[in-house]
Chains A and B, each alone.
Chain A
Amino acid sequence: MSRFTEDEIKQKVKEGYILESPDEMTEGYRKALIVQLLVQADTELMSAPAYWMAAQDAPSINTQVSAVAIIQDEIAHANIAYRILEDMGLDKEQLIYGRAPNEFKHPYGFDQPLESWAELVTANGFFDRAGITLLSDVYKNTSYGPLKRALVKVDLEETFHLRHGEVWMRRLAQAGGPVKEQLQRAVDWMFPMTIEWFGLPDTMKRHSGQLEYRLKGMTNDELRQTWMSATVPLCESLGLRAPAHFDAGKGEYVLDFPFPCEYDDAAKVWDFAGGQIGWDRVFERWKARGPMNEIYVESVRRSHGPLKSMMAAA
């Protein structure tokens, strides 16, 4: 175990110390990093079946090729995080094939069906943007050396996913008519979904192990603001309605809907009229998982058994 105490390691990382091996970790550091890596790994992995579902609606062979290449990237990104967890002593096979679907730690947004090209490209523009916002903060601030180095490639590839999303959102918006309306409906459910992804408001967060161990640098609200500073101008420039705006007086982005609120996952509609709900209700909704949770996990696992048998027989 580590030669540091919890207080010592917190002080050291505050001073810029970079850990290079699991041996240096205290129990608290290790636990906090495992949670963060599982969220990252599970999110990347589960974006694959979600994006694959939507890629069925790709308008041409070449565009479907682009979508498949993006999916391949996401699986590789997942493997990067699972590999680091493996180096920390966890069992990658058990994590991917052994956990119950509701034990996966990806956000609620990736338990939802993506049913059209419009939803796929909005996912690129919003969800991949959230991914980059979180991961570039980790890259800049993480005190764990192996993760920092591994994120270089991830950040570069996510940048392309983002560009893919934004270019396609522009094309669909410019097409106008029912095509633009379909895009607007995607924005309507996916914008608040991503806002929720960033978690509890800072005023409600009691303490953050991730900040104390320097596994991230920005707070939830700061990350939310960073995300909005890209997505709100994007929507405005495309003539799409985003439920947020920049308040010059406050010098920050302000939500134009009660946050948090209820979500109807069958209709894909947020219940703004129902008003603000407590975060305990949100955690209940997250715990109950979304409609695609079991289907997505099963689709990632489907060939595992047969493939193992084939390899054993070879």
Chain B
Amino acid sequence: MTEREARLWSALREVLDPEIPISLVDLGLIYAVREAGPRVEVDLTFTATACPCMDFIREDIRTRLLRESDVEEVAIREVWDPPWTVARLTPEGREALRRFGVAA
């Protein structure tokens, strides 16, 4: 991973799920981050095909990454394969869900 990619992942770690205050990264929704100059591509999935928060999540990712001075364009690619499962939660994500009373 390049230093820039690491910085972008850190930025994405600050983007929280709109319902439960857990990072999208800890939820395991970010499948990939690719950077090419001023353009950043994010491969993103959702916990369900009928997620009500899709627009909000996309907007939050865009807003956060555009705050980086070297990012001018954010392309979000929706990926449904491999399908998300709770196995994709990080240990921090699992712990945060437990604290908020949500079983995983």
Contacts and interface: CB of A to CB of B under 8 A. Distances in A.
B52 A153 contact: no
Interface stretch (A27-35, A114-122, A154-162, A184-192): A154-162
B19 A66 contact: no
Contacts of A167: 56
Contacts of B36: none
Given A156-B20, A159-B19, A160-B18, A65 B52 contact: yes
B28 to A, nearest CB: 19
Chain A interface helix/strand/loop/mixed? helix
A70 interface: yes
Contacts of A152: 100-101
Contacts of B18: 160, 163
Nearest to B50: A65
Interface residues of B, number: 13
B48 to A, nearest CB: 9
A19 to B, nearest CB: 19
A157 B56 CA distance: 14
Nearest to A73: B52
Interface in A138-179: 149, 152-153, 156-157, 159-160, 163-164, 167
Contacts, number: 35
A120 B25 CA distance: 32
B24 to A, nearest CB: 15
B3 interface: no
Given A156-B20, A160-B18, A160-B19, A70 B101 contact: no
B33 interface: no
Contacts of B55: 62-63, 66
A300 interface: no
Interface in A180-205: none
Contact of A66 (B52, B100, B101, B102): B52
Contacts of A149: 101
A69 B52 contact: yes
A63 B54 CA distance: 10
13 contacts: A65-B52, A68-B50, A69-B52, A70-B52, A149-B101, A152-B100, A152-B101, A153-B101, A153-B102, A156-B100, A163-B18, A163-B56, A164-B56
Interface of A: 62-63, 65-70, 149, 152-153, 156-157, 159-160, 163-164, 167
The 3 closest A-B pairs by CB, nearest first: A69-B52, A66-B52, A152-B101
Interface of B: 18-20, 50-56, 100-102
